[in-house]
Chain A
Amino acid sequence: MGMLLEIKNLSTHFHTDFGVIKAVDRVDLSIDEGDTLGVVGESGCGKTVLALSIMRLIPSPPGKIVSGNVFFNGVDLLSLDSAEMRKIRGKDISMVFQEPMTSLNPVLRIGDQITEIIALHLGLGQKEAMARAMEMLSLVGMPSPGTAIRNYPHQMSGGMRQRVMIAMALCCGPKLMLADEPTTALDVTIQAQILELIGRLKHDIGTSVILITHDLGVIAEAAEHVAVMYTGQIVEYASVENLFATPLHPYTVGLMESIPKMDAPWGRDVHLKVIPGAVPSLDDLPKGCTFQDRCAHKMQICREEEPQLKEYMPKHRVHCWLYEK
């Protein structure tokens, strides 16, 4: 399968009163056609800014993509003018946001919101666009699409709204869908349905997915490859099997150990392993490795020099001095 998206040395900075925030810092990443790439990290690690950078939706000022390339089917998205980008956005690359309530327009009917995109990108007339909208809504498992298109967002539950968001994201047959915490606001049983839906649609339509989440369980269920982000950088990249079987970066290991597991021993005195401290503030990062203050394996070199993201095992890259030979 061919490479669909290739991100090279991408940096997105925000200029604030406190200085320059490197929200995305020299990221290299790629995704193949039909692949699901999970991006996992804690709040503030830059995963949403990464998605917005791909979509060219970084508010400027204060934000700015300061370096890098984002090749989509061989075309550098960062070199396009805004009219050209608008043709791609929503059509070839679409996005599903975390909060389905705030990302839908509250005063427009569901049908109008979906047909707007279809009419814009596919040039269909009102009737055909409406038919396509109905088709998409039944594809995402909306119980009665005929009623749904006449509804307003507030008349729907969270799970149904998220289905509408996914229908909108898929209505023009995109090659890539960016899903930013698509299930975080939902109940577990609804989350399971939405993840299953994304997996099924990916299979049927062949769309590649970048799935952004903080939840390692969601990653394990839905992703094929995983990038772990910390303070704006990719610290580990591997196939989902390799990442969970042999996590390399101390941060990835710490994350995995700190979540309570359903099959772990249980008892009053069972404590979770923790990563000490907190994520450092992006405007005050230490010199060298940014994870050093929370790391049990800290060495002299970690304080002095920044490690590089390097391949340690086949297709398993890690950003850590422990694995430098």
Chain B
Amino acid sequence: MTMILVDIQGIKKYYGARAELLAKEQASVKAVDGVSLQVYSGETLGLVGESGCGKSTLARLIMRLDLPTAGRIFFEGEDIFKLSGKDLKGYRRKVQIIFQDPYASLNPRRTAGSTIGEPLLINQMYDREGRALETARIMDIVGLTKEQKDRYPHEFSGGQRQRIGIARAIILKPQLIVADEPVSALDVSIQAQILNLLKELQKEFNLTYIFISHDLSVVRHVSDRIAVMHFGRIVELAENRELYEHPLHPYTVELLSAVPAPDPGRKKERVIREREIAGATNGQGKCPFHPRCPVRVEVCEKDEPELIDRGGGHFVACHGGA
């Protein structure tokens, strides 16, 4: 599990910035602001953060649905932003995405079978009969019956629609699946079914997941390693158990303390502070978290902390003693 599958190097995505030379400098939203990250083959990397922290933008960049302002992403050693033509099509075969909202991400005028089988058609794989067989096989794997192939999305429940989305994502036997809040729109009892399915599929097909969620207990359940994002940057990255037992960054501590525990006997001590007005337009040269940080020191206002290994692969971007 040590082979690097995805290598993200200093990736940045600013929205609203002028691209032209000599253009007047103007405020831009730094959705992703210098993220470097390696994803190992076969692992599940959890990506957590609150709305607006840039986690979905990062997903779009990895999918090559968006081009970065700066930085590079390598997949199996190849720069994905330099791919074109056949190579790009090949990349899109190896990397798939599962979206949050199974209601909005399926074409309402296509049957389940046609949505699931379309990637095969696009990539000219199998003949008509073979495609039908393969579609039926994948539907069975994700827990749909083959009789359901002629039904339309509105005839399915939320959980079944997400199964359709998952079937479409795995039919090309991808190496990497980016799951962007795959269970957030689902009911509690259905969430568990989908999380179990994703784990089973990972084992069966040796998949690598980038699992994006705002829900820390869901991320804890599925991930091998977890990266915490805040204002477009990764502030902490560690092995699952290490992060939850020894969080180092004050923002991670705050997030963990905010999760309501389903246990009325244990009302936790909270460390929530009022948060600044959203919008990561602040300039360089200081820690974006410092205005509400309990452990800030003088240097936090002068210098932006780097993401540094504090030992055993536990990275944190914080000047504090921690």
A residues whose Cβ falls under 8 Å from a Cβ of B: 42-43, 141, 143, 157-159, 187-193, 195-196, 214-221, 240-241, 244, 254-256, 258-262, 264, 266, 268-275, 278-279
Q: From residue B183, how far is it (CB to closest CB) to chain A in Å? A: 10
Using Cβ atoms and an 8 Å threshold, which residues of chain B touch A42? 187-189
* Structural contact, A255 and B189, CB atoms closer than 8 A: yes
Contact A274 B262 (CB under 8 A): no
A residues in contact with B255, CB < 8 Å: 188-189
Give complex CA distance A264, B216 in Å: 13
| Closest residue on chain B to residue A220 by CB atoms | B264
Residues of A near B111 (CB, < 8 A) are: none
Q: Contact check, A218 vs B270: say whether CB atoms are below 8 A apart.
A: no
Chain A-chain B contacts (Cβ-Cβ < 8 Å), number: 127
A259–B262 touching, CB < 8 Å: yes
A217 close to B262 (CB less than 8 A)? yes
* CB-contact partner of B214 in A187, A216, A255, A270, under 8 A: A187
B38 within 8 A of A: no
Query: Counting CB contacts under 8 A, is B82 at the interface?
Result: no
Contact B196 A195 (CB under 8 A): no
- Check: B122 CB closer than 8 A to any chain A CB: no
Residues of B within 8 A of A259 (CB): 188, 191-192, 217, 262
Q: Which of B9-17, B113-121, B272-280 has 4 or more CB atoms under 8 Å from chain A?
A: B272-280
Report B271 CB to chain A, min CB distance, Å: 10
> Is residue B51 contacting chain A, with contact meaning CB distance below 8 A?
yes
Contact yes or no, A262 B217, CB < 8 A: yes
Chain B: how many interface residues by the 8 Å CB criterion? 47
Is there an interface contact between A272 and B241, defined as CB atoms closer than 8 Å? no
Can you report 22 residue pairs joining A to B where beta carbons are below 8 Å apart? A42-B189, A157-B278, A187-B50, A188-B259, A189-B258, A189-B272, A191-B260, A192-B257, A192-B258, A192-B272, A193-B272, A193-B274, A196-B270, A215-B260, A218-B260, A220-B263, A244-B262, A254-B189, A266-B240, A269-B199, A272-B195, A274-B192
B220 and A220 form a contact (CB under 8 A): no
A16 to chain B, nearest CB (A): 15
- Which of B196, B262, B272 is within 8 Å of A272, CB to CB? B196
| Chain A residue at minimum C-beta to C-beta distance from B219 | A260
For A262, list chain B residues within 8 Å (CB).
Answer: 216-217, 220, 244, 256, 259, 261
Roughly how many angstroms separate A43 CA and B157 CA in the complex, as a whole number?
A: 11
Contact among A158, A215, A270, A275 with B189 in the assembled complex (CB-CB below 8 Å): A275
Assembled-state Cα–Cα distance A271/B222 (Å): 9
Q: Are B189 and A260 in contact (CB under 8 A)?
A: no
* CB–CB B258/A255 < 8 A: no
Apart from A241-B264, A264-B221, what 12 extra A-B contacts exist at CB < 8 Å? A42-B189, A187-B50, A189-B255, A191-B258, A195-B260, A196-B272, A244-B264, A261-B217, A262-B259, A270-B221, A272-B195, A274-B193
Contact: A157 with B277, CB < 8 Å?
yes
Complex CA distance for A281 and B221, rounded to whole angstroms? 30
Residues of A within 8 A of B51 (CB): 158, 187
Q: Is B159 interfacial (CB 8 A cutoff)?
A: yes
Whether B283 sits at the interface, judged by CB under 8 Å, is no
A260 touches B217 (CB 8 A): yes
> Do B187 and A220 touch (CB < 8 A)?
no
Q: Ordered nearest first, which 4 A-B pairs have the shortest CB separation?
A: A217-B260, A260-B221, A258-B192, A187-B50
In the complex, whether B246 has a CB less than 8 A from a CB of chain A is: no
B-chain residues with CB within 8 Å of residue A268 when the two chains form the complex: 199, 203, 224
**Residue among A159, A240, A258 with max Cβ neighbours from chain B (10 Å):** A258
B63 at the interface (CB under 8 A from A): no
Contacts of A256 in B (CB 8 A): 262
Chain B residues in 8 Å Cβ range of A274: 189, 192-193, 196
Nearest CB of A to B292, in Å: 10
Residues of A within 8 A of B128 (CB): none
Give the residue of B157, B240, B262 whose beta carbon is less than 8 angstroms from that of A216: B262
In the complex, residue of chain B having the shortest beta-carbon distance to the beta carbon of A241: B264
The interface residues of chain A lying within 8 Å CB-to-CB of B191 are 258-259
Q: Cβ of A272: which chain B residues have Cβ within 8 Å of it? A: 192, 195-196, 221
**Cβ–Cβ < 8 Å partners of B272 in chain A:** 189, 192-193, 196
B97 on interface, CB distance cutoff 8 Å:
no
Q: Which of B159, B190, B215 has the most CB of A within 10 A?
A: B190
Contact A188 B214 (CB under 8 A): yes
Neighbour of A258 across the interface among B160, B189, B254, B265, CB < 8 A: B189
CB distance from B173 to the nearest CB of A (A): 20
Most buried by B among A188, A254, A271: A188
Chain A residues within an 8 Å CB radius of B159:
278
